[in-house]
Structures are given as structure tokens and as C-alpha cells.
Amino acid sequence: MIGKTLIPGLFFLLLLGAARGNTLPVLPYPQQVTADQGALSYPARLRFQSIGINAPMTTRLTEHWNNFAAGLPHPVAGTATVSLVLLGKNAQRDKDLQQKAGAGYQHIGQEGYVLIMNEKERTIAAHTEAGLFYGLQTLKQLTRGGWNKTVSITDWPAFATRVIYDDISRGPISTVAYVKQQIERMAELKINYLSFYIEHVVQPVSYPDFAPANGKLTIAQIKELSAHAAKYHMQLIGSFQSFGHFDKILALPQYRSMGETNTLISPLDPKAREFLEKVIGELCDAFSAPWFNVNCDETFDLNKGRSKAYIDSIGPARFYSDHMKFLYDVVTKHHKKMMMWGDIALQYKEIPDMLPRDIIYLTWEYSDQPSYARWIQPFADRKLEFMVCPGILNSYRLFPDMVMAKGNIAGFLAAGKQQGATGAFTTIWDDGSTYLFSGDWYGVYAAAEKSWNIDTLQNDSFDSRYEINAYGTRNGGYVKALFKLMELRGLKLTYNLNELLWQQVLLPEKGKKMLLNNTSVPAANAILQEASTHISRAAPLWHKDDVHTLQHAIEQYQIIMDTRTTLVQTVKQYQEAQGMTAARPQESKVLLLASARGIHALASRYVAMKDRYRAAWKRENQDYWLKEVLLPYDKKIADLHQLEAALLSAAANTGKQAALPPADSLRLTIAETRFSYFQNWMLTGPFPGNENSPVPAFLYAENNEYNKPPSPGDFTMYQGKTYRWHKFATPNGGIIDLEERFGKVAHSSAYAYCNITAKEAAVSASFLSAPAGAEVFFNGMQVMAIPGTDTMEGEKKYPLPFKAGINHLLLKIPQGGSPWQFTFRLAADINVINSKHKYQTNPQNKVYEAE
């Protein structure tokens, strides 16, 4: 074939000199491409010639194309005839197409296709309607992307099962209309399954009273969405949390008795079993896919509830497996295959051997790991069916970490494919609840790319292909802005893109104090200014909400930085005004009015951001949880208005009174600091004591079973009572107010825990401010105790003997009068970063936690 060279898509860029003009504007990138030399027009108007295809199929495919063509902003004029060929109807025709398609023809299977576009022939051929549909998606992208050359493609998926899994239970729950938009957009990316994480946001007929009134999917709506998905060769995989994470339903009085604990449903409770059987049965019948996911992950309380004695007698693995077999029978009865998360089966290695072998394990890990063997090999070695589940990480972030997501998706899917995974099951988690799906699409496109073509070397063209297909642009504005914003993940103040910055209060309550460390603000401002410039140039032709959501994130970070610097400036100006009120009242008044104007301008920005965010939420989501996600805006706006009024009042009274009110009355007791105080801890308590023994003698628990460094949700025991360890983040910049957390409990004490990873063994200084009687334990050894008679205020300095690796820090803080609070930090020359209660000191390679 003169002028043509058959080459795999894997080598297409290399052989064409990596020229952007020779890279197909297609995503996911095809497996095999024939690079032709001729020119060809791609008009939007097509006349389909059906070969071996019945009329209904032709009508469906034609309708898909016409809907696409009608939305093109600048279509190429003219009409072209395209042959749609169903293979297997004519042996000679199939042989001719096989010769043109080359070696890849044998791989096209049920979803692959052959696409030939040249001067003599325009053909899409496939074994099924789904294959023809996917061929049309590629032709759509060539047409919309302005491709003007002849080309031949042979294409097929790396994974037969390509899933996007959306968390709709942690705050945002999509409207039916938006789910339909998701289906249509994902289908163009050759995603063939959509699923949802569901705890309580469905309304079965049998139990209609646990779903939120303003946020749910009814059985009728699920069936409607299943039917809509079928039009786009997608299926909806059913899901219901069937063991742990059951707290939202168990919190309702009518269901409380079903609880093993307040987070686990009880497998032994007849009422609970009946509930699960009926709800899962209805959902199995409503969702269209052949599988049903019972979830059952993160059963933190597995052997800590009311059945503990029984569980201890048979073992937690048997207890868990018995419940899985019950769920298996329920799902099987409704003609579905059961899916379940694989984490508990990895924790208790014997579980897979206790369960039916046709269960599908969803093995998950969301960090960018050097190896994924620990999440794959236990299933692969047993020859069990498993799917690998990477993640697009929103969790507890202001914007998803796309650096982590992109690496995790590529690495986990490649490792899974090599070891026999049958599906690519990409998850999107909304822990923290303030997220919009329009911020996730870059990750969805990355997942679609690797789910279809795991081996493509088109990585350096992915961003340009993403922008062409997602927004119809080639300016790089969106992607440059996105990855400039990602640079915040490495700064101390914004490390891991954590949401703590947003949740922090603006002003301390009267009688309280707040610490502000703004040392990272200049670097953050430089990043945000560049990101803002890039996003302003994005100019999308479609899917504009994606750009608006990224723009909102940039503005959200910017207003956080501006607020921190404005508040510090306001404190300084108020102190200056206090000093000149008596002698120079007019100058004092001018200064106060200037401060009030700055606060007013800041409040106005928050109001505008809140209004834009509310509108964006309602374009995607039902009203459920909207009030909660707007609370931080409301609180900040109210605080700023209150401060503005106080400053104006002080200005009005300048010259009438001898002195300005104290800063505390304006809630301006804010101290700027260069020190990095630990803001994230795990807390438990309060433990009752007495005047002679205010702090319990044990380390983590008096019960040996729990006397170990805790994980979130773990228990501790004291005098026959159970306490939990809870994650805690101070809203005051490093001051841990235990009275605010636990209330006033006379002669009680609380525990605070974190771990600190050090590169090497060393003795480093640390500083604690705490009530008399406080004790510090490091790696199980007491390293400091503040005498009960100590009346000195301020920080106490003491050495911490670090070992290389993870170090465990435990503070015991008695309620020794008021205030019942503490601060902790390391020496200023130690660089500290953290993800929640996990800290790193002087890291060479920063570790980013998936959470």
C-alpha cells in the first residue's frame, strides 16, 4: 500500500516525529492507527449506508450522530456517505476488511471496531452495535477536532469493564438530569458502566422513610436512568452499603435497634437481615448491570459491638464471611453476581477461601504507589475475579489531587491488567462533601484513556486531546491552570490540598485566641496568580461548568490567602489606632475606617462566591446538603460583617472615649506566628478522674486489646466504658481547645495522638503549652511531665528522641482549670508537613496521603 504504513497506536507519535498535527484528536487513543498521506474533509452531515444492519439499529446510530452534528459550532460543509458494516454477515467482505485492518483485527471482539476514512472508502465495521457506536464516537472526535487527513483505525478495549463510580452519599447527590449528562459524556469516552456509592440516598418501596427528602433516587428514577444508559451502551451497576458506614440509617430512631454499633448494621439481627434482603432486592431489580456491589468495606467496629463475645468465639473472619454469604444469597436470588470491596479480605487472608469463588473483588488503593502487588496478588494468586479500583481524590480537599489521580490510575490499571484484572473501576469519593463533579472530569478522561488503551504512548498528547474533546480548545488554558493549582499541594500551608484552611474560623470567639502562620502565603499567591491567568484564557466552547469550577477553586484559595493577610493587617492597624486614639483621634478614625472598608470588600467577595457556588451546586445536584456546604460561607460573611460593624462603631466613638475597646471585644485576638503548630490530632476522652489521680495510668487503653497506637475510629477502654478515637482539626490555627471539644468535666483528662515520620534518628526540641499535670509519651516512653504544682504559663521545651521511621506521640492533658487547651510544635528549624494526624519532618520526598 504505497503512501501508507500500518503502525500500532503505541508507536504513532514516535514515528511521526511527535508532531501535534499528526496526533489524532481522539480520546481514548486508538490501539492501532494507519497513517495515510492524503487529505480528506470530515463533514458533519452523513448519509449512512447500512450493510448487514437492521433498520432499528441504523435508526439508533443515525440519531446519535445527528444529535452530535446539530451541536457543532462550525461544521464542515457538505455531505458524506459512511458505510456501517456489521461483521459476520459476508465472509468475503469480512476478509477484505481484515486485510485492511491488519493484525489488530483479531482483537476487536464485541466492542472494538474498524474505521477507514480515505478518498475511496468511508467505513465503520464491528461485530456488534456497541462496536459501531464506539466507532462513531471516534469519528465524532475526528470531525469535531478538525482532522483533515485520511486515516485507518483498528481499535479495541484493554478492559471489557470500564466503570466510573461516583460517591453520592457524602453530600452532593446528582439530579436525574445531571446523571443523564454524565452518561452521555462518559459514553463518548467509551465508558460502559456507571455506578454510585449509596448509603442512604435511595428510596425503596419497602422502606421509604430513611432517604433524605431533598436528596434521593427513587426506584422509578433508577429504572429511568438504567433505560437512558442503555441508549448509550452503558449499564448502571447497583450498589448499597450493607455492613459498615451504616451510621446515617442507624441514626434514625426506627432503625437504631438494627445496629451492631452505631456504624455497623448487625448481621445477627433478624430485623436487619430482613431490611437488607428487601432493599437490596429492590435495587438489584432496578439497576441494569449483571452485578451488584454490596460494599462492606472499612468495617472498623467488626469485633467491638454487641456481638463481640460471639465474634471472639468464632473469629472476625468467620463472622464477616457468614454475612457475605447471606448477602451473596440475596444478590444471587435476584440473578446478579455479587461485587464487594476487597479491603477486609486483604486484612483477614482466610476470608476469600470461605466465600463462593464467583464473587468479584473490588480491590482499591488511591495513592500513586511504586507497586500495587499487595492489593492485587492475594486475589490473582487464588485465581479469583477482581477489578482494580483507582481513585480521583476529592477526599477532604478543596479540589481533587489530579497529580495523584493520574499516576494512580495509570499505575494501578497497568498492574491490574498484567495480573488478570477483569475491570477498571475508577472511584470518585466526596468525603468532606463540598465538591462538584464538574471538577472531576480531567480524572474521568484519564481513567477512560487508560481503561481503553493501557499501553498508549500518547501520554504527552493527552492534555491537548483532553482540551480539544472536553472544551473544543487548543490554548492549554484549562490544563495549565489545573496543574499550576496542583503546585499548592507541596506548600506547607496548603499541603495535600487539605480543606482545613477552608474550615478554619476567621475570627476567634471572645475570650479565645487564634494563631496564623502566613509564611507560605507569598508562594501561594504567586501560584494562584499564574493559575488565574491561565484559566482566564481557557475560553471553552462547551462544558463551561468545568472551567467555572476550576476558576472557583482558584478564587477560593485566593480569598483564603487574602483573608489571612487582611486579618493580620487589621490587627496591626487596630493596635496602631489604639496607640494614637488619645493624642490623635482623627488619624485613629481614618485608620479604623480604612480597616472597615477592607473588611467590607472581603465580605462582598465571599457573598459573590457563595452565590456562584450555590448556582453551580444546583446545576448538578439536588438540594440535599446544600445548606451544610454553604455554612462556611455564611459563618465567614457573618464574622466579617460583625467585625466591620465593630470597626465602624469604634471609629464613630473615636474622640468621644479615652480609649478604643480591647481587641478581644472585636474578636481580634489573632497572633501571627512563624511556627508550625500541630493542628491535626486524634482525640479521645474525656476520662473521669479525681483530684489525686486526674490522668489514667495506661497509655492507649487499660484493656490490652486496645492498648496500641490508634487508627481513626478505634476504641479505647477505661473502667468498663468504651471510648472512640476521633480525628480532630483545630479551627484556631494550632490551639487545641479541649473544653470546646469535650465540654466541662471536672477532674477529667483527654488524650491526643499523632504520629511523626522522621528520615533518621535524632534528638529534636519540641514545645508544649498545656495545663499542669500534662504528660508526654513518645514511642511508649514518658519524655516529659508538667508538675501538678506548675503555675508558669507559656511553652515548655523538652527533647524528643526520634527514631528513623514512624514515631508515636501521645499527650495526656488533664482538665487542670481553665483554659483546658494545649499547643504543640517542634523546633523552628524542623520542616513539618502533614496529612491529617500523620506528620513528616524534613522530608526529602513528600508523601501525599490519599485519605
Catalytic residues: 298
CA of residue 442 relative to chain centroid, distance:
13
Query: Beta strands of 629-730 (E only): which ranges?
Result: 670-672, 680-688, 715-718, 721-724, 726-729
Cell 496607640: give the residue. Answer: 579
> Residue 372 to residues 298, 383, 413, 846: CA-CA distances in angstroms?
19, 17, 10, 19
Alpha-carbon span 822 to 708, nearest angstrom: 23
Task: Report the relative pairing of strands 805-814 and 291-293 from DSSP bridges.
Answer: unpaired
Q: Assess contact for 492 and 48: CB atoms under 8 A.
A: no
Q: Assess contact for 427 and 415: CB atoms under 8 A.
A: no
Query: Beta strands of 156-254 (E only): which ranges?
Result: 161-167, 193-197, 202-203, 217-218, 235-239
Q: Return the number of other C-beta atoms located less than 10 Å from residue 69's C-beta.
A: 16
Residues 6+ apart with CB under 8 A from 597: none
Query: Three-state SS for 449?
Result: helix
Instruction: Provide DSSP, 713-752.
Output: T-EEEETTEEEE-EEEE-TTSS-EEHHHHH---TTEEEEE
Alpha-carbon span 635 to 388, nearest angstrom: 41
Alpha-carbon span 699 to 777, nearest angstrom: 8
Q: Assess contact for 359 and 331: CB atoms under 8 A.
A: no
Cell 502562620: give the residue. Answer: 517
Q: How many CA atoms lie within 13 A of 472 on its CB side?
A: 14
Q: Assess contact for 797 and 765: CB atoms under 8 A.
A: yes
| 3-state DSSP helix/strand/coil % of the chain, to nearest 5 | 40, 20, 35
- And the C-alpha cell for 243? 455492613
Alpha-carbon span 335 to 830, nearest angstrom: 59
Residues 6+ apart with CB under 8 A from 605: 559, 562
Alpha-carbon span 539 to 378, nearest angstrom: 48
Alpha-carbon span 176 to 724, nearest angstrom: 38
Alpha-carbon span 231 to 67, nearest angstrom: 13
Q: Assess contact for 379 and 358: CB atoms under 8 A.
A: no
Nearest residue to 661 (alpha-carbon basis) of 515, 512, 513, 510: 510
Alpha-carbon span 157 to 720, nearest angstrom: 57
> Residue 802 to residues 707, 799, 808: CA-CA distances in angstroms?
21, 9, 9
Alpha-carbon span 694 to 746, nearest angstrom: 9
CA of residue 676 relative to chain centroid, distance:
26
Q: Dihedral through CA 217, CA 219, CA 225, CA 228, nearest 10?
A: -160
Which contiguous run of DSSP H or E holds residue 142? Answer: helix 129-144
Which contiguous run of DSSP H or E holds residue 425? Answer: strand 423-429
Residues 6+ apart with CB under 8 A from 662: none
- And the C-alpha cell for 599? 473588611
